[in-house]
Amino acid sequence: MSEKTVKIGLLGAGTVGLQVARILREQNRELSARAGAKLVLSGVAVRDTGKVRPGIDSALLTSDIDRVIDNADLVIELMGGLEPARTAMLRALQHGKTVVTGNKAVLATHGPELNVAADTHDASLYFEAAVAGAVPVVYGLRESLAGDRINQVLGIVNGTTNYILDQMSTQGWSYEQALAKAQELGFAEAEPSADVEGHDAAAKCAILASLAYHTRVSISDVPTKGITEITPADIAQAREAGYVVKLLAKAERVMVNGQEQIALGVEPTLVPQTHPLAGINGPYNAIVLETEFAGRLMFYGAGAGGAPTASAVLSDVVAGAGHIANGGHAPRESTYAALPISDPGLVQTRLQLRLEVSQQIGALSQVLQACLDQGVSVASVRQPLVESGADQATLFISTHSASRQQLDAILAVLAKSPLVHRIASVLSVEQ
C-alpha cells in the first residue's frame, strides 16, 4: 500500500450512510489495502448534529456541507433528493473531487450537468449504488460490456413494488394490504408514491438506458405507469393464463421508419412464468440484458437496504480512492450514439384488457370490431362464466403486437361504448 491518505467526506448519515461509516471503520485495513491508500473519514454532514449516530465520532459531525467537501479528497453523497444534493455534488466536482453517489433522482434529472463538471475539472463521478443496490449492473454496462452491443435492458428495479406484487400473488392480498405490510417491514416509505407510481423505477431506467445506448436519457423521456390500480383479479387472471405481474423497466433498440431509436417505459407487465424475471420474489431486483455477442445476461440481488447499498457505495470508494492514489479516473460519460428517443405511440407492444361489458348480444362483437377497425388482431378472448340473469360480464382480450397509437385508439372507442361499462385494467404483455 502506498503512503497516500485519501480523506473521505460523507454527506448524509441515514440508513445507508451509517452502514458505510460502520463498514469503513470495521473493514478499514482491508478496504485500504484494496484501494492502495489509507482511507480516512474526515467529516460527516448531517442536518442535526445533536443526534447520536452510533459508530460515528461526534467530532466529525457538522451541518456545514461545504466544509466537509472542501476538507475531503473523495465525497460520498447519500442525502437523497434533488437539493442540496445536486449543488453539493457540483461543488465537489468543480473542485476536482471524486464523487460517489447513490442518488438516482439527481442522476436521472441532472446527469449531463454533473458529467460535464467531472470532465471539465478532471474529476470522477461514480454511481454504482444508484441502480439496484448491491447488484453491479452499472459497472457491467459501463465497463464489462464496453465491447458488446446492448439490444434490450429489461428489469425489476424497485424492490418495494416487487414485494407488493409478490404478496398479492402468493398471499392473495389486495394492493392496500400488501402496501401496509411493506410499510410495516420497512420496504415502503410512509409516503410511497415514488415507488408505487413508478418514478423510482423510471429514474433507474433512464440511467440504465444512458449507459446501454451511449445516449443522454432523462427521467422525463420514460413513459411511466405504477401499480396502484393492480387488483387481485388481475393477479388471478395472470396466473391462470401462465403469467405473473411485474413492474418492469424496459429500454430497447427499435427500428422506426428505418431509423434506429430507443424505446423506453416503466409499467406493470404480464411476464410469462418461464421468463427469468418471473421468479424474482420479495424485495429483490433483477436486470436481464440481451446483448449482441454475449447473449442473455442476468444481474440479480438485493436492490435496497443499508448494508447492500453500502456495499455498492464502498466498491466505488475503493475504485475512486485507488485512482486518487495511483492515477486515473472513473469512466467518462459516453454519448457518442445520440440515438433519438422513440415516440411512445409508435412503440410496438401487446396488451391484455379486462373489460366489464353488458351481458347482451353484440358486446363482444363491438369490442372485436374496435380492434378490427384499427388493424389490430386479437390473440385470445376469454369470458368467465356468469350467473344466469346477470346484467354484466367480464371479458379478457389479448391482442397481438401493435403500436401504442393503435391500441390507445381502441381504448378510446371502448370507453365511449354504451355496452362497455368499464375498462377495468390494461396490462402490457412481455413478448
CATH number for the domain harbouring residue 362 = 3.30.70.260
Residue at 151 is within a domain? yes
Phi/psi for 160 (5° steps) reads -60, -50
Q: How many CA atoms lie within 13 A of 154 on its CB side?
A: 21
Q: Is 37 helix (H, G, I), strand (E, B) or coil?
A: coil
pTM of the model: 0.93
- Same domain? 91 vs 166: no
Q: Of the listed 38, 97, 204, 250, which one is catalytic? A: 204
Whether 1 shows a pLDDT value over 60: the answer reads: no
The whole domain housing 56 covers 5-133+306-326
236 plus 313 within the same structural domain = no
| 204 counts as catalytic | yes
Are 96 and 184 part of one and the same domain? no
Same domain, 254 and 158: yes
Q: Does residue 352 share a domain with residue 320? A: no
For residue 75, is pLDDT > 70?
yes
Give the domain-ending residue among 302, 334, 354.
Answer: 302
Residues 217 and 269 in one domain: yes
In a domain, 339, yes or no: no
DSSP secondary structure letter of residue 56: S
Q: Which candidate, 425, 7, 390, 104, places its Cα nearest to that of 237?
A: 425
Q: Indicate if 257 and 188 belong to the same structural domain.
A: yes
**Number of domain units in the chain:** 3
Provide the residue count of the chain. Answer: 431
What are the pLDDT digits (tens) for 262-320?
999 999 999 999 999 999 999 999 999 999 999 999 999 988 788 999 999 999 999 99
Q: Is 51 annotated as a binding residue?
A: no
In the block, cell 410512509 appears at 190
**Alpha-carbon span 246 to 331, nearest angstrom:** 32
- My answer on whether 147 and 272 are in the same domain is yes
pLDDT exceeds cutoff 90 at 186:
no
Q: Does the residue 261 lie in any domain? A: yes
- For residue 161, is it within any domain? yes
* One domain for residues 178 and 293: yes
* Cα–Cα distance measured from residue 32 to residue 6, given in angstroms and rounded to the nearest whole number: 9
In a domain, 420, yes or no: yes
List pLDDT tens digits, range 35-59.
Answer: 999 999 999 999 999 898 988 999 9
Q: Are residues 274 and 143 located together in one domain of the fold?
A: yes
Please, which residues bridge with residue 249 across strands?
155, 266
Pair 157, 253 in one domain:
yes
pLDDT number for residue 291:
97
pLDDT tens digits, 371-387: 999 999 999 998 887 66
Q: Please classify residue 389 by burial: count the beta carbons closer than 10 Å to its beta carbon, then call 0-12 exposed, 13-18 middle and 19+ buried.
A: exposed
Cell numbers given for 277: 424475471
Are 31 and 151 in a shared domain? no
Residue 333 included in any domain? no
What's the mean pLDDT in 23-42? Answer: 96
Q: Is 104 annotated as a binding residue?
A: yes
> Using the 8-state DSSP alphabet, how is residue 333 labeled?
P
Q: Is 101 within the bounds of a domain?
A: yes
- The pLDDT-based confidence of 359 (bands split at 50, 70, 90) is confident
Domain annotation covers residue 92: yes
* Residue 32: CATH number of its domain: 3.40.50.720
The set of residues, in sequence order, having a beta carbon less than 8 Å from that of 408 and lying 6+ positions away, is 345
Question: 244 - beta bridge partners?
Answer: 271
CA–CA separation, 346 and 73 (whole Å): 47
